[in-house]
Amino acid sequence: MNENIYSRFKQYVAKNMNLRLYDIAFNRGDKQYLFDIENKKYLDMFSGATTAILGYNNQEIINEYVKTCGKLHHTCSVYTPTEEIVDLAKKLVDIVPSSGSNKTIFGLSGSDAIECSIKAARKYTNRKDVICFDKAYHGSCGLSISATRWDSLQEGLLLDKDFIAFSYPKSKEEGEIILSEIIKSSKQELPAAIVMESIQGDGGMFLADKDFLISLSEFCLQKEIILIIDEIQSGMSRTGKWWGYEHTGIAPDMVVIGKATSAGYGVLSAVIGRDAVLDSLDKGQHVFTYSASPHACSVCSKVIEIIERENYPKKNEENGFYFFEKLRKISSPLIVDIRGIGLMIGLEIRKQENINAGLVGLRCSEKGVYFGYYGQNNEILRIHPPYIINERDIDFACEVIEDTLQEITTGKIPSETYAKFEKVCVGLGE
């Protein structure tokens, strides 16, 4: 039945949308578990691409959604705002650390929120160049995919050329060199903005060097360059703090959020940043009919309330520490590195012929644990579970990983699994 779904999918849906991980088609979820159309149960370690942060079938959120839709499900907020949008905007401004007065612009996805931030930076500074970083992933809209540095995703699209890419600073030494290169480049012509992920997700799960981020922030402040931090994947307390950049103490000009804002129950993104910068956009220059719908805003407010009430930043920090400890105890020549922070974890698999993280994830899914994978070569097992997992779940996930790696190194992976891997594991990498 799973295969039948994909057969019909390929018949009616363009190949652009097929980033197929395995051969699974889900039809329901409950708490930290997913069930496919054959009713097989999986422990979720992916959260719907880092979105379903509070698991599935959360009645508190569902009740909030239904209550708001029953009262008023749509107005087009740019014409007629509701209490929900105002309440949420204040909440977001309150939880995003800033050196000044902030405002919010709402959108539908992380991609269009990045778009908004770049448009505002260009309008405010009256400059056009944007500095970004190799292997960054910022989205699929015109400006956000121009800031995305994957050759395969940009091929043939005739994109904006005013983007200058530098290496992502993974260490103090690299950070010093890259900062020097950015400063040198900026002497010729100041850019409008620098856009970067505080933790590079799809590009390989790398944490930016802390000293680099601090020095970069100071440089941007001195030169009036707008610093945009992409928290689409790392935000909403996944790393043990509300936002990944908080681990460094900097205060960006704009923070971009998406994915987990509504825990998967609505469509919502936002840019939170300096009011002078956001207000440089004139009315109607970045608006959408569906942005900031009443139910999406009320759900996001409820998600914030639950995160604060349950103290998920601290819980994620603790569960992340436990997860790292368990992963480090796995001995396998296939493990290259374990990277990340909190519950944003990447396990790098040594790429060999017919072996990458996709094979590991596929075999784990056959054993009932659902991971994602990404990286330029599909080399990173993506471990981004819902916040509601417990130590027993972590133990089970690590046992399955260890058992799978052992099977691969001893040649005991079933031949049908290899056949399926070659057929269905598409992923985003090259």
Residues 6+ apart with CB under 8 A from 208: 168, 169, 170, 175, 196, 197, 198, 199, 200, 248
**Three-state secondary structure readout of 56-121:** ECCHHHHHHHHHHHHHCCCCCCCCCCCHHHHHHHHHHHHHCCCCCCEEEEEECCHHHHHHHHHHHH
Q: What is the pLDDT of residue 182?
A: 97
> pLDDT, tens digit, for every residue of 132-189?
999 999 999 999 999 999 888 888 988 888 999 999 999 999 999 999 999 999 998 9
Could you give the residue ranges of the DSSP H alpha helices within 190-339?
A: 210-223, 275-278, 294-309, 312-328
Give helix 391-409 / helix 357-366 axis angle, nearest 10°: 120
Mean pLDDT of the 348-366 span:
94
> pLDDT, tens digit, for every residue of 369-426?
999 999 989 999 999 999 999 999 999 999 999 999 999 999 999 999 999 999 888 7
What φ, ψ does residue 352 adopt, rounded to 5°? -135, 175
Structure tokens at 197: 């992920």
Fold of 60-309: Aspartate Aminotransferase; domain 2 (3.40.640)
pLDDT band of residue 20 (cuts 50, 70, 90) is confident
Give helix 415-424 / helix 357-366 axis angle, nearest 10°: 120
pLDDT, greater one: 324 or 15: 324
* Contact present, 230 and 221 (Cβ < 8 Å): no
pLDDT band of residue 51 (cuts 50, 70, 90) is very high
Distance CA 52, CA 290 (A): 20
Q: Where are the domains of the chain?
A: 2-57+311-424, 60-309
Q: What is the pLDDT of residue 1?
A: 63
pLDDT exceeds 90 at position 79: yes
pLDDT band of residue 430 (cuts 50, 70, 90) is low
SS3 of residue 284 by DSSP = coil
Distance CA 387, CA 348 (A): 22
**What is the spatial order of strands in the sheet that 254-257 belongs to?**
102-107, 269-274, 254-257, 226-230, 193-197, 130-133, 163-166
pLDDT exceeds 80 at position 428: no
pLDDT exceeds 90 at position 324: yes
Amino acid at the residue 50: T
Q: What is the pLDDT of residue 141?
A: 93
Structure tokens at 233: 């994947």
Helix (H) or strand (E) holding 272: strand 269-274
Q: What is the pLDDT of residue 424?
A: 85
Q: How far is CA 251 from CA 91, 118, 416, in A?
A: 17, 17, 51
pLDDT exceeds 90 at position 23: no
Record the pTM: 0.96
Q: What is the pLDDT of residue 425?
A: 86
Mean pLDDT of the 61-82 span:
96
Neighbour-count burial of 77, counting CB atoms closer than 10 A to its CB (0-12 exposed, 13-18 middle, 19+ buried): buried
Mean pLDDT of the 90-102 span:
89
Decide the pairing of beta strands 41-44 and 33-36.
antiparallel
pLDDT, greater one: 425 or 1: 425
> pLDDT, tens digit, for every residue of 258-296?
999 999 999 999 999 999 999 999 999 999 999 999 999
Answer yes or no: CATH 3.90.1150.10 is held by domain 2-57+311-424. Answer: yes
* Contact present, 131 and 102 (Cβ < 8 Å): no
